[in-house]
A and B are shown apart, each in its own frame.
Chain A
Amino acid sequence: MCETHNMIQTNLYDSKSPTWCPGCGDYGIWASLRTSLNQLGWGAEKYAVVYGVGCSGNMTDFIKCHGFHSLHGRAVPNAEGIKLANHELTVICEVGDGDCYGEGGNHLLHAMRGNADIKVLVHDNRVYGLTTGQTAPTSPSGFKSKSTPQGVIELPVNPLSFAITQGASFVAQGFAGDTIYLIKLITEALSHKGFALLNILQPCVSFNKFYGYAYYKERIYRLEEDNHNPESKEEALKRVMQDETRIPLGIIYKKERPTYQDQVGVLAKGTLVKQPMNNPKEFTSLLNIFTENPL
């Protein structure tokens, strides 16, 4: 477990106790999310959290708020639906890398294209945790796991470059072992208007020992201390295309553009679920379109 734990104000929450392995990076993410929500001062009516299925998704039971524990891979479309129905809510996805970059990868691509106003926090542990240690789309080539004893053949996905080029308006990376900074990044992501991807490097102490706290600590650096311009796509791409000798943390790319819901005409009239339901009589004009009057 990471050193910053005792700083977290959890008294607002009345949930079940976590069941993650001792030392799992998910604790750091959990603590950071709750602290960020506390700092933002949001009441439960302000947001909803959609969880994928994985160790990451088990966070459902550890936060008392409006939540939706979805299917493996499907949190993103659930979140998009919630946002369109009630865009007053900040909609947060807590998903795994297998969940979001593998099983549900297609959804991510299209949510980014549309700048769907959802905040996707990915627990990137480069392995499948809940199903006890198979390869994930983020695992490097040659990675030996229960499902790839001879080593992974494919290249790993590069979710950050993918997000930068496919329309995400906020792309950032955090580390579960640096919760002080992670809290700040989560707050930035939640405050961003538009699609936000926050990839969180998350040690899985049980099934991916190589990518532990030490591995990341030796390599991470903060972009804001490294003269980075997050408005520039080119610069952002350069940062995420480097090899892993140095791993950037912070806001990699950020450029606001109209969100999906901003461009849906019906929502200009107000929040969908709060719009009054039409009186059936108002549909006479609709029936008229299909009605023929005798000569």
Chain B
Amino acid sequence: MINLTWKIGGEAGFGIMTTGHMFSKIAVKHGYKIFDYIEYPSLIRGGHNVYEVRVSDEEIYSQEKKVDFLFALNKETYDLHKEEVREGGIIVYNSDNFKLNTGEKERNVAIYSLPLSKIISDIGAQKVMENNVALGATIAILSMEINALYLIIESIFRKKGQEVIDKNKEAAKAGYEYVTKNPPDGFDHKLLPRKAEPQIIATGNEAAGMGAFVGGCQFFVAYPMTPSSALLHIMAMYGEKYGVVVKHAEDEISVMNMAIGASYAGARSMIGTAGGGFSLMVEGLGLAGITETPVVVMVGQRPGPATGMPTWTSQGDLQFVIHAAQDEFPRIVLTPGDINEVFWLTAEAFNLAEIYQTPVFILTDKYLLESHASVPVFELNQVKINRGKLISFEEGDIAENYLRYKVTEDGIPKRALPGMKKALFIANSYEHDEYGWSTEDPKERVRQVDRRARKLETFKKTISKQNVYGDTVADLSIVAWGSTKGPVLQAMKDIKGRSDKIKVNFLHITHAWPFPADCVGDFLMKAKRTMIIESNSYSQMGLLIREQTGFDIKNKYLKYDGRPFYPEDIQNKIMEVINL
């Protein structure tokens, strides 16, 4: 098996993000799978940025702690990360930026000096092209094909003209040739091209964007907030081409209310935000709930409260999202675990929102939204659009005695739209009767509350199953939700690679609300030992499980330092619990 982690670090401003993303593409062009992960502070210039790309010829689910190839653009990167380099690895450093004492050879780690500035000035290129020199050198060191980089440069700069393309290629070539002339000593990892199918490389934001477009989104409105701003950028970039009206509104209160307005009028609507922005939307969420207006809400979690740690990861908003807004109304909370699930659940969220006429959440986090993974190309013919009980304009023009909030057995009434001639209604934020007129009548109130609640019961019947991975009979049963899926699956795979004797299985919750109590209860009932893994300090999912099933998961692996889980740490926890 081939497994290699390449990591580049330097000051913000070098273009670390672009460089890392390009390396991910280069690796996929060579037929490998990738998972990448970025760390950066909430600053525009200065500050330490790192981008790591894990490359493998097998399925990979997360980043890892160890590195095989460290590219240190500055001294800080070297000092902070040199210990992470595995035996047999290499550290390439920009010798025009800092000097290492000769003889500073790390364990069995090759050290390679690359004079980035000199190479770039020798060919008379601009400093901004240094990243191509770095990638050219990387390619040579890993015995990869420089052509892959050329193709990527061509597609990035296509609009800027041949001259720009040529200059960038020249920089790449210079880096490549420097290494060919001065080959490194004591490093022999190779990423030779392999045969493979085309792959999508996408972040969670990009997968959510694709899911939204394909899922029939017609109106997207947001206010920028890390980690979901990129979703707004994607929707804005491609909205015009794919028929989506995209609006950057004045604040999140407006975001939620514009989406509700557009959806009331019949447009499939979505909004994107983070916990802070969502806090401003909460009253509007209740409005969507009581008026039964479909809306898809993507919330990207980051550590909080308030501004918290903007560019880091967290799963601290689960209970908030499940409970936000006064009183009770149905909502659906989906918690995708990887790029594939983000795509499919986002597309499906539009159907659920319209079928159940209620808000549907995609609850994600920085780790999922900003890390790229390679996945097989989504099969578009699997996408189905279901608009639920929405009536057509033709029907609405002739309907007699239409009642928007009619009491039905499944709780779901027919939905008309403004612009219809006969099927009139009032979407009312006050409690209302079947027509929509305000009411304070106790019987009407109870009828409407009960009916709205029945919508969720109807939905519950469709989500009895959640995915279980691993051995049927296990020494340890793990429960996790959302993006923690990746590191858990990676840890399970790595354990299997070491020994077949350790039996572990894993229930991944993708539908957090309404809570799939039967399925989770069943899994826990059969478990010998249990452990919950999540990114918050209260164990919010653990508490929910106890509330909903009565099971108290004693072993908890909780992390709330803003960093994602690492499979190595999860392996250690698994061994700890099994050896108890």
Contact = CB atoms under 8 A, between A and B. Distances in A.
A275 interface: yes
Contacts of A60: 426, 428, 430, 438
Contact of A61 (B242, B422, B438): B438
A67 interface: yes
B424 interface: yes
Interface in B398-430: 417-422, 424-430
Nearest to B384: A280
Given A68-B264, A70-B287, A286-B213, A272 B29 contact: no
Interface residues of B, number: 83
Contact of A275 (B31, B243, B424): B243
Interface in A64-93: 64-71, 74, 77-86, 88-89
B258 A66 contact: no
A45 to B, nearest CB: 5
A242 B238 CA distance: 49
B402 to A, nearest CB: 11
Contacts of B242: 278, 282-283, 286
B202 interface: yes
A227 interface: no
A83 to B, nearest CB: 8
B239 A266 contact: yes
B264 A287 contact: no
B25 A292 contact: yes
A283 B344 CA distance: 14
A284 B429 contact: no
B424 A269 contact: no
A79 B424 CA distance: 17
Interface stretch (B106-114, B358-366, B374-382, B459-467): B374-382
B210 interface: yes
Given A81-B221, A82-B262, A74 B216 contact: no
B472 to A, nearest CB: 36
B245 A267 contact: yes
Q: Looking at B25, B30, B253, which has the most chain A CB atoms within 10 Å of its CB? A: B253
B273 to A, nearest CB: 15
A69 B429 contact: yes
Nearest to B283: A71
A277 B387 CA distance: 11
A79 B436 CA distance: 18
A48 interface: yes
A293 interface: yes
Contact of A81 (B29, B199, B219, B425): B219
B543 interface: no
B476 interface: no
Given A77-B254, A291-B377, A292-B29, A88 B419 contact: yes
A246 B454 CA distance: 58
B381 A290 contact: no
Given A84-B247, A280-B380, A295 B257 contact: no
A70 B257 contact: yes
Contacts of B437: 15-16, 61
Interface stretch (B44-52, B190-198, B312-320): B190-198
Given A45-B420, A66-B418, A77-B257, A85 B262 contact: yes
Interface string A259-290: 00000111101001111011011111011011
A129 B418 CA distance: 29
The CB with the most chain B CB atoms within 10 A, among A78, A84, A89, A282, is that of: A78
A293 B216 contact: no
A166 to B, nearest CB: 12
A68 B261 contact: yes
B424 A81 contact: no
B385 A295 contact: no
A77 B195 contact: no
Interface in A206-262: none
A89 B397 contact: no
Contacts of B419: 45, 48, 66, 86, 88-89, 273
B290 to A, nearest CB: 10
B269 interface: yes
Interface in B17-44: 25, 28-31
A144 interface: no
A277 B200 contact: no
B206 interface: yes
B383 interface: yes
Contact of B265 (A48, A65, A292): A48
A285 to B, nearest CB: 8
B427 A292 contact: no
B260 interface: yes
A61 B433 CA distance: 11
B428 A69 contact: yes
A52 to B, nearest CB: 10
A88 B418 CA distance: 10
A283 B200 CA distance: 14
A68 B291 CA distance: 9
B182 interface: no
A141 interface: no
B380 A67 contact: no
B145 interface: yes
B429 A71 contact: yes
A80 B266 contact: no
- Could you say which of B193, B261, B377, B428 has the most chain A C-beta atoms within 10 Å of its C-beta? B261
B196 A294 contact: yes
A85 B259 CA distance: 10
Given A64-B424, A66-B425, A294 B29 contact: yes
Contacts of B147: 295
Given A89-B419, A286-B213, A71 B257 contact: yes
B267 A69 contact: no
Contacts of B380: 280-281, 283-284, 287
Contacts of A295: 29-31, 145, 147-148, 151, 193
Contacts of B436: 67
B377 A86 contact: no
Contact of A86 (B210, B250, B418): B418
Interface in B199-242: 199-202, 206, 210, 213-214, 216, 218-219, 221, 238-240, 242
Interface of B: 25, 28-31, 145, 147-148, 151, 193-202, 206, 210, 213-214, 216, 218-219, 221, 238-240, 242-245, 247, 249-251, 253-255, 257-269, 283-284, 287, 291, 374, 377-378, 380-381, 383, 385, 393, 397, 417-422, 424-430, 436-438
15 contacts: A44-B424, A45-B420, A67-B426, A77-B254, A81-B221, A81-B259, A84-B247, A85-B218, A109-B250, A267-B245, A272-B262, A280-B381, A290-B210, A292-B200, A295-B148
6 smallest A-B Cβ distances: which pairs?
A: A81-B261, A66-B418, A85-B265, A77-B257, A81-B262, A85-B267
Given A81-B269, A291-B201, 14 more contacts: A43-B421, A48-B419, A58-B438, A68-B261, A71-B284, A81-B219, A106-B254, A274-B393, A281-B381, A282-B242, A291-B200, A292-B25, A293-B198, A294-B28
